[in-house]
Amino acid sequence: MPGSHGSLTKAGKVRQQTPRIARSGVNGRKKKSPRMRYRKLYENRVGKGKYPGQTDSIGAKRASYKRR
């Protein structure tokens, strides 16, 4: 049995033919790396005491208990 699945001359054929679509809307901006994203979340949570979501979320309630 040969050691390859198909010839190498056909490699990447479909991807090269697919048209490139520019980012737009929600995906318009490039996403930050997870390290930077988690750093920002940490700064908001620990440094500023801000919690995402609704004011009566579990994280926000915990923060308000600590402030009292």
pLDDT along the chain (68 residues), means of 10: 70 88 88 94 85 79 73
CA-based angle 62:63:68, to the nearest 5?
100
Residue where the block lists tokens 């996403």: 31
pLDDT score for 39: 95
pLDDT score for 1: 52
pTM of the predicted protein model:
0.48
**Strand runs labelled E in the chain:** none
Distance CA 41, CA 47 (A): 10
